[in-house]
């Protein structure tokens, strides 16, 4: 669907250099940690300003946001977004919002793969449940499904082995975490290799989308935690729940064909979500107009 959309999908315009960019793991010393402490309460509202600015909530059923989740294990979500350029949106809960990156090729379970991850604006917590169709003409127009979700744990450590708070690790440009999803399991790292500079600690990691755009790599870490045989087995067990999850799931839950992948929430494919939206039986299209009409998004 969708030719000649006016809206530019987040992360949609950049090519995917694949495994050749930058280096992982070497960036931890580039920034000083000073001034990175943040106020979570203040951060959430401010962080969503950019998200809201880009959207007309009379026209899209994407959540406006406002929920603050207290306590418990932080969550992650990976959505497949069939926008003008299909990509994966990788989101981690940090200080009450979902820090977000557009990953053109999606996460890989192979530690040798370095996946380009372009920061996008913070998303509200409610977005972790969002699947549906963003109408043509709207920002990010296209179909969204939740490919995987679950909890994660911060495993970022300094050289002496002391834990680095997650928000601080991200601000420094290198954060490690252990994913416990139904497809993705094991240890991953996000490393900034371009941009950021002194702006690393600001509320919006995405910057303005102009100028020297930040770029990160998402890499599976070797060994570590459940990344071994056990983690791999877990990944398969998870994939079994979402049957038909792409052709190449041999390596621990890595995405195969995104059009065959099934939602971790609803079991639906992109095509099914799109078809349901068009026929009006499902969720997520706002073509009928009216966020007030009550049907909302499905659980
Ligand atoms: Mn997206």
Residue 290 pLDDT > 50, yes or no?
no
Give me ligand 1 centre to Cα 8, in Å. 10
Q: Report residue 66's pLDDT band, with 50, 70 and 90 as the boundaries.
A: confident
71-97: average pLDDT: 95
By C-alpha distance, which of 75, 81, 190, 187 is closest to 130?
81
* Residue 46 pLDDT level (bands cut at 50, 70, 90): confident
Q: How far is the CA of 86 from the centre of ligand 1 (A)?
A: 8
Whether the predicted pLDDT of 8 surpasses 60 = no
Q: How far is CA 267 from CA 259, 280, 281, 299, in A?
A: 12, 18, 16, 12
Q: Which residue has the higher pLDDT, 122 or 287?
A: 122
Q: How many residues does the chain have?
A: 299
- CA–centroid distance, residue 116 to ligand 1 (Å): 14
pLDDT at 1 over 60: no
Q: What is the pLDDT of residue 79?
A: 98
More confident residue, 177 or 63: 177
C-alpha of residue 290 to centroid of ligand 1, in Å? 23
User: 146: CA distance to ligand 1 center in Å?
Assistant: 11
pLDDT of residue 15: 39
Ranges 100-104, 159-163, 205-209, 228-232: which has the least confidence? 228-232
Q: How far is the CA of 164 from the centre of ligand 1 (A)?
A: 28
Encode pLDDT of 167-186 as tens digits. Answer: 999 999 999 999 999 999 99
Distance 59 CA to ligand 1 centre (A): 17
Mean pLDDT of 183-205: 75
Spacing, Cα 25 to ligand 1 middle (Å): 26
User: How many angstroms separate the alpha carbon of residue 60 from the centre of ligand 1?
Assistant: 14
Residue 235 has pLDDT above 80, yes or no: no
Mean pLDDT across 222-250: 43
Give the span between the Cα atoms of 145 and 280, in whole angstroms.
17
Judged against a pLDDT cut of 70, whether residue 201 lies above it is answered with: no
Integer angstrom CA distances of residue 79 from 4, 22, 148, 261? 23, 25, 7, 11
Residue 289 Cα to ligand 1 midpoint, Å, equals 22
Ranges of each domain in the chain: 18-284
- Dihedral of alpha carbons 236, 238, 241, 247, sign: negative
How far is ligand 1, taken at its centre, from the CA of residue 242, in Å? 22
CA of 160 to the centre of ligand 1 (A): 37
Q: How far is the CA of 34 from the centre of ligand 1 (A)?
A: 32
Q: For the residues 101-114, what does the mean pLDDT come to?
A: 96
Distance 186 CA to ligand 1 centre (A): 24
How many Cα atoms within 13 Å fall on the side-chain side of residue 210? 1
Instruction: Specify the pLDDT at position 234.
Output: 39
Question: Per mean pLDDT, which range of 24-28, 86-90, 109-113, 276-280 is the poorest?
Answer: 24-28
CA of 119 to the centre of ligand 1 (A): 10
Picking from 84-88, 182-186, 204-208, which range would have the lowest pLDDT averaged per residue? 204-208
Comparison of pLDDT for 172 and 236, the residue scoring more:
172
Q: How remote is the CA of residue 48 from the centroid of ligand 1, in Å? A: 15
């Amino acid at each position: 669907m969708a030719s000649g959309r006016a809206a530019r999908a987040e992360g949609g315009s950049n090519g995917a250099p694949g495994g050749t960019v930058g280096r992982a793991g070497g960036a931890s010393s580039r920034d000083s940690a000073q001034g990175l402490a943040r106020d979570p309460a203040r951060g959430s509202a401010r962080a969503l300003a950019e998200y809201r600015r880009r959207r007309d909530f009379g026209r899209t059923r994407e959540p406006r946001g406002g929920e603050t989740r207290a306590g418990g294990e932080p969550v992650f979500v990976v959505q497949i977004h069939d926008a003008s350029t299909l990509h994966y949106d990788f989101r981690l809960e940090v200080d009450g919002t979902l820090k977000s990156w557009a990953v053109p090729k999606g996460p890989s379970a192979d530690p040798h793969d370095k996946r380009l991850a372009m920061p996008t604006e913070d998303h509200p917590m409610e977005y972790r449940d969002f699947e549906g169709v963003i109408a043509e003409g709207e920002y990010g127009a296209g179909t969204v499904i939740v490919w995987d979700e679950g909890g994660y744990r911060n495993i970022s450590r300094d050289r002496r082995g002391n834990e680095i708070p997650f928000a601080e690790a991200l601000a420094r440009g290198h954060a490690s975490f252990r994913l416990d999803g139904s497809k993705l399991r094991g240890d991953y790292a996000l490393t900034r290799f371009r941009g950021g500079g002194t702006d690393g600690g600001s509320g919006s990691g995405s910057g303005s989308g102009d100028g020297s755009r930040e770029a990160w790599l998402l890499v599976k870490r070797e060994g570590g935690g459940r990344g071994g045989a056990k983690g791999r087995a877990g990944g398969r067990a998870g994939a079994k729940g979402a049957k038909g999850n792409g052709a190449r799931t041999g390596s621990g839950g890595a995405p195969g064909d995104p059009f065959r992948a099934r939602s971790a929430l609803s079991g639906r494919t992109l095509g099914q979500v799109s078809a349901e939206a068009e026929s009006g039986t499902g969720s997520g299209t706002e073509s009928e107009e009216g966020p007030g009409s009550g049907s909302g998004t499905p659980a």
